[in-house]
Amino acid sequence: MVRRKARAARGECRCTHRTERVNSAVTRTHVLKDKIILAVFTGTGNTLVAAEQLARRLAVAEKNVRLVPMEKPDLLAAAGLDKASTLGLAVPVACFTTYPTVWRFIDSLPAGEGRGVFFLATMGGMGAGMQGPVGRALLRKGYRLIAATTVTMCGNYGIGTPADNRREALFIKMRTQVDRFANRLLAGRGDWSRGLLNPVSSLFYWLGQTRISFRSFRRFFTATVNQTTCTGCRLCMELCPERAIAIKGGKAEISSSCQSCQRCVGFCPAVAIGFPGKPVKQYRAVSLETLQSFLEGHGLNMNRKGSDA
């Protein structure tokens, strides 16, 4: 009993037998380190916008926040991830889980050794408690869960794009939600809910790990290239986090390893990538220059060579 109370006071989750639990009823106390490494994965830029908002709010409190892209896990060491730092994760929700790129990043993380971690997810609809499986994966790596939240932004898979006033309203709401989350982090209090739909989230977590959900998803949202309008500029190939795009015969070609993150759809200068039969307009939350600055500024190779048969 004494040990249980001590764990609760430290904000730790107890592992029962072989099952690690994320306790939704516990509000954890913590001390946020002055150095914060915020790892980000973004498709059309929604998550990057939210992560930058969080970083700005934490910087006001004199926290040193560095954003790194999840496509290069080895950059964590270069960014200075050590016991004197707190790790943050910012990811999009997809198929009630998150993208394979994110799960590979989590799998590649070094042992947590009790290091604190917080989690921010952006979504266009419902997250189905996906922070639960993420939390359990991090617990298995030895990280100490601090807090998790989800914020609503423009969806990437709807028909058309939201009107400017609707889009601006979502961004204002997001900034308010992120600022509140930052305030909780700075105040030393937070929670990491396992979610109301934990069984559903666990199912989609497993499906996401096996890529089954994304293969099924691609049947409805199969990104294809308009061979007439494609200019073969290679930008989509350079931006693709899964290296699922090659240039063949002077035109882009998307392979089955595509995870439908829509980065190529959102940033194609010729608007040549889309979904057949679905009038989805091009959407991106940041400019191409902003995305490239984020990626190139952290050592990603933006000039990968592709095949040209």
State yes or no: pLDDT of 144 exceeds 80. Answer: yes
Question: What's the topology of domain 218-296?
Answer: Alpha-Beta Plaits (3.30.70)
Enter the DSSP assignment of 100.
Answer: H
* Residue 277, helix vs strand vs coil: coil
Query: What gap in Å lies between CA 215 and CA 233, rounded to an integer?
Result: 27
pLDDT tens digits, residue range 240-298?
Answer: 999 999 999 999 999 988 888 889 999 999 999 988 776 657 889 999 999 999 988 76
State yes or no: pLDDT of 17 exceeds 60. Answer: no
160 contact partners, CB below 8 Å, separation of at least 6: 279, 280, 281
Q: What is the pLDDT of residue 200?
A: 56
pTM over 0.85: no
In this prediction, residue 8 has a pLDDT band, given cuts at 50, 70 and 90, of: very low
Residue 303's Cβ-count burial label (10 Å; 0-12, 13-18, 19+) is: exposed
Reply yes or no on domain 2-208 having CATH 3.30.43.10. no
Q: Where are the domains of the chain?
A: 2-208, 218-296
* Residue 145, helix vs strand vs coil: strand
- Contact call for residues 130 and 96 (beta carbons, < 8 A): yes
State yes or no: pLDDT of 12 exceeds 80. Answer: no
